């Protein structure tokens, strides 16, 4: 993959590579296309959730689906996440391919037991997989406050039997959602709401999937590796451009999948650069940065030329106040400070 260019087109961020074909669409439209195409391809696929039908979803991701596929395949549900996920599990075990939407991913906690104690364990207990997707908007940056801005991925990354994906680009959002729907086990699909109408890139017109469990190098570098995912990929790319002007070559590794984690890609990158900085929007303690740091300490210690640093949100709820939220979220300046410290080590 060629080095990407981060460009501004009005409010949009675009990620382009040389020779990329296809049509340029926003992140949100890529998710909608994946749902349309998978429902066309496979009659077992259906969508359920709060306001996904008549209203078209809180963020309009499912707009037009009910008109095309009818109320039997695009189900408006009560305000009950337990019922949504429980119904999806039952349908999956009966041979269907449900895609359950959480209106905001924060409220997935209402269905935590069903996902972690039933869906994730069922193949281990009975040999029967639960082919379902739970998708929904995560993350901050839109002043949603502490109940509509969380990054809950680590509650589920800890759970054997689940897969957890977090796309940063429109290309990956479409390809990973297709892969998740076709997977024979439960997948948690995290869509960063800040990216819905801000990120666009070229997506092939023909059918494709992005394999679950494979990271992608978004920018090659030689001086340090920035490991990240979701909306923070764009923060990392912006910081890498600024660092390049100072003569620092930063590699940006987009994990794309958080469980299973692409350890080989992380190790290979850090072996090349000798230094690693992990960036994530989730809070610090018990975040994915700690897991990656432990893995590098165990498996790449002899290649490290400096400490493994983390740039994360602090251990607090997400603030509602715009200035406080801005201070809470990792940004280019905090990332640059950490990167420059690491380069000088």
Q: Which residues are catalytic?
A: 148
* Tokens coding 204: 């092939």
Smallest CA-to-CA distance from 229 within 212, 252, 199 is with 252
How many residues would you count in the chain? 345
* Tokens coding 66: 């009910």
Cβ contacts of 150 within 8 Å, gap of 6 or more: 105, 106, 138, 139, 140, 318
Are residues 333 and 327 in contact, defined by beta-carbon separation less than 8 angstroms?
no
C-alpha to C-alpha distance for 287 and 279, rounded to whole angstroms:
10
Give the position of tokens 């607090």: 316
Cβ contacts of 245 within 8 Å, gap of 6 or more: none
C-alpha to C-alpha distance for 37 and 263, rounded to whole angstroms:
31
């Amino acid at each position: 993959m060629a080095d990407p260019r981060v460009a501004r087109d009005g409010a949009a961020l675009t990620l382009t590579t040389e020779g990329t074909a296809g049509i340029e669409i926003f992140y949100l439209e890529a998710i909608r296309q994946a749902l349309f195409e998978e429902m066309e391809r496979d009659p077992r696929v259906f969508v359920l959730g709060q306001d996904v039908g008549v209203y078209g979803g809180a963020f309009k991701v499912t707009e037009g689906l009910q008109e095309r596929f009818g109320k039997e395949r695009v189900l408006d549900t009560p305000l009950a996440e337990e019922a949504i996920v429980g119904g999806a599990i039952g349908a999956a075990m009966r041979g269907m391919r449900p895609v359950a939407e959480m209106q905001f991913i924060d409220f997935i906690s209402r269905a935590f037991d069903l996902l972690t104690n039933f869906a994730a364990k069922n193949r281990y207990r009975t040999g029967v997989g639960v082919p379902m997707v739970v998708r929904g908007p995560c993350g901050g940056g839109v002043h949603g406050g502490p109940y509509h801005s969380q990054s809950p991925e680590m509650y589920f990354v800890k759970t054997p039997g689940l897969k957890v994906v977090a796309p940063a680009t429109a290309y990956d959002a479409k390809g990973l959602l297709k892969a998740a729907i076709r997977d024979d086990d439960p997948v948690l699909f995290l869509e960063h709401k800040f990216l819905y109408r801000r990120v666009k890139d070229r997506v092939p017109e023909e059918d494709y999937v992005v394999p679950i469990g494979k990271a992608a190098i978004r920018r090659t570098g030689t001086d340090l590796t920035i490991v990240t995912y979701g909306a923070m990929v764009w923060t990392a790319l912006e910081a890498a451009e600024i660092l390049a002007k100072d003569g620092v070559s930063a590699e940006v590794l987009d994990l794309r999948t958080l469980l299973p984690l692409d350890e080989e890609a992380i190790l290979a990158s850090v072996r090349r650069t000798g230094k690693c900085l992990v960036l994530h929007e989730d809070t610090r303690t018990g975040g994915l940065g700690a897991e990656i740091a432990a893995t590098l300490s165990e498996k790449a210690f002899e290649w490290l030329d400096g400490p493994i640093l983390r740039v994360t949100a602090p251990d607090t709820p997400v603030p509602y106040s715009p200035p406080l939220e801005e201070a809470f979220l990792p940004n280019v300046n905090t990332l640059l400070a950490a990167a420059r410290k690491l380069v000088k080590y």
